[in-house]
Amino acid sequence: MYLCELIMRKLVYILLTTLAATITSCSPSEGGKQGDDAADVVATVDKKQLLISDIQRDMPRGLGEADSVTFVRMYIDNWVLNQLKVSRAEEVLPAYEKEIERLVEDYRQSLIMRQLDQYYIDNAIDVEITDKQLAAYYRSNSASFKLDHDKVRGIIVKTPRSFRNTTTLTTAIKEVIKSGNTQEVAAISEKHNLTFTDLTPQWVSYSDFLSNLPTERSRSYTDLLVKSGVQQMNSDDAIFYFAIVDVARKGEVAPLESVEADIRRRLYAERRTDIVREYEAELKREALNAGRVTLTDTVLFRAMSYTAPEEEIEAEVREATEHIEDEPIAIVEESDSVQTN
């Protein structure tokens, strides 16, 4: 450590680029700044000093030598400019000094309060979201999950025109429509080197589904959404067998599976908000009870002092965790194979 600091102190005044590389390789001394030793000072503006430890503290890890040089030069240049601007502002903006101090204090307090909120959140947040909670939120907020486009789940198998085992393949696709099991289709595709696109695990936009087929730009394919069973499209060198297993139409409520991630984000955000709201209310109640706060507004005083009865809290918990049965998905019987040219 002593040798490292000695080298650094010497090279600071020899070459800035060497300073950058040295700062990268040397760790700062304990306690942050290295004291009043002049060799630790990289730059000065009036009586303010920039120390080597200041740069070490803010330098990102893993920078190469060239990037370190750039970082140090920019850091020192920005620091010098900032000090000069602050000094000039104090000269030409004396009337604004109190206002600036107020803004700085407001910002300082907002940072502290944000950290306090995060402290309570980190110590109280429940990151687990159960299927019951997902279903309850989905059901009670279904109006906000209306689709603005058609969504589908399905499969597509691309075969060469020379492929002959079409009956076996279409039978396997019908099994997917019936049970959702894609294993047989996957096995046939692997055996005969066919291109298998499985879009059953997640809902996709209908346009994305069609992008896997030899469609024409000028034609609408909404009619395919009402057809069941195995369908096919032909291209010059291939035949595409496909089946739309499920359809969610534009204007309908989006399927739960397709909005699950969004619901989880919403529930997590609500939990964060609830935690902050609860601890803020507790802070006010404690302060009022301790006589630390006085209010002439009796309505506001009662509001700050209010604590929900235990039975009211329990009722809210029961309502939030009430089991909601999932609605059954209607299964449309597949028809015979439909060919679309």
Check pLDDT > 80 for residue 318: no
User: Distance between CA 280 and CA 114 in Å, rounded?
Assistant: 12
Average pLDDT score over residue span 272-300: 89
CA angle at 46 for the pair 40 and 48, rounded to the nearest 5° = 45
Nearest to 252 by CA among 270, 225, 230: 225
Q: Please report the pLDDT score of residue 331 as a whole number.
A: 33
The helix, strand and coil proportions of the chain, stated in percent and rounded to the nearest 5, come to 55, 15, 30
Averaged over 125-140, what is the pLDDT? 93
Q: Percentage of the chain with pLDDT > 90?
A: 54
Query: Does pTM surpass 0.85?
Result: no
User: Are 338 and 240 contacting, i.e. CB atoms less than 8 angstroms apart?
Assistant: no
Looking at residue 32, the DSSP 8-state letter turns out to be: S
State yes or no: pLDDT of 312 exceeds 80.
no
∠ CA 116-55-72, nearest 5°, is 130
pLDDT at 337 over 60: no
> Which among 163, 154, 172 has a CA at the least distance from the CA of 210?
154
39 — pLDDT class (breaks 50, 70, 90): low
Closest CA to 30 of 5, 50, 10, 9: 5
Count of beta carbons in the 10 Å neighbourhood of residue 204: 17
Sequential DSSP letters for 51-81: EHHHHHHHSPTT--HHHHHHHHHHHHHHHHH
Residue for token digits 């028809």?
Answer: 335
Place of tokens 């304990």: 30
Q: First and final CA of the chain: distance in angstroms? A: 77
DSSP label of 149: S
pLDDT band at 33 (very low <50, low <70, confident <90, very high): very low
pLDDT at 245 over 60: yes
pLDDT tens per residue across span 152-197: 999 999 999 999 999 999 999 999 999 999 999 999 999 999 999 9
